[in-house]
Amino acid sequence: MSRIQQVFARAQAENRAAFVAYVCAGDPDFATSVEICRALLANGVDILELGVPFSDPLADGLTNQLAAQRALEGGMTAARVFELVRRIREFSQAPIVFYTYYNLVFANGVDAYVRAAKAAGVDGILTLDLPPEEAGEVTKACATHGVETVFIIAPTTPNARIEIIAAATTGFLYYVSREGVTGVRDQVAANIPEAIARVRARTKLPMVVGFGIGTRAQVAEVAANADGVVVGSALVNCVRDHLANRAQIVPAIAARAADLSAGVKRISK
């Protein structure tokens, strides 16, 4: 099994959801970003979702937009994102998934980009603005180089299209729990159990749920039904909130990850 498959198999055996954490690569600077990733993986994170900083992150809310801006202003480049992955691989073999936009993949040459990602130690790629109907070059390159694909399903996705999306996916499906952009919300979307059941009737792929999840209670609520729970903005906010004293960023994000990850264990009925 791949590293991603191993995570979901282990989580299922332990009667819990996998904990997927999003942070922007290079936010607020390269050295701190390495230590953030180390802290996350030491505090319950199963899969690390690395946002590749982009100047026009159309699927992201203000929190993650500003994180990308900080990373770019700090000198983050495509080459340095690969270097960050290599640094993480020095201390962890946990799955790493790129959360990126197609222009970043296309501009560097699709096959060359995927090959470089694999060589650095990336396990999967989620290309936010690339529909599966137009992803042939990416899925081919991923199959060639052994990188798993991740695609998004939205609340508005019709049943027939779920099957198309699932057919292009080899890693896991990412269910966006609400319409709109990323960001912490006061409440989890009410229809998640029904949405998960609708998708599971059409595929056996693992299904993670993200967008708007930011507390341990919300993680627990989603973990009751999903194979994995994604938290992003709530962690990125730990960076934002401690920019004036960067020495506090890593301890803050470690504590937040430990608290959130405690919510993934399911209560036996």
From residue 250, how far is each of 76, 130, 206 by CA, in Å?
A: 19, 33, 30
Q: Give the residue among 212, 211, 210, 222 at the shortest CA–CA distance from 263.
A: 222
From residue 134, how far is each of 20, 102, 140, 165 by CA, in Å?
A: 26, 11, 12, 11
Q: Which amino acid is at 122?
A: V
- Identify whether the C-beta of residue 76 lies closer than 8 Å to the C-beta of residue 52: no
Alpha-carbon distance 59 to 64, whole Å?
A: 9
For 177-195, b where at least 16 C-beta lie within 10 A, e where not — what string? bbeebbbbbeebbeebeeb
For the annotated catalytic residues, the residue numbers are 49, 60
Place of tokens 């998708």: 199
Alpha-carbon distance 2 to 171, whole Å?
A: 9
Largest CA distance in the chain: 50
Strand pairing report for 96-100 and 148-153: unpaired
Burial class (CB in 10 A: 0-12, 13-18, 19+), 145: middle
Q: Give the residue among 193, 257, 236 at the shortest CA–CA distance from 46.
A: 257
- Identify whether the C-beta of residue 249 lies closer than 8 Å to the C-beta of residue 37: no
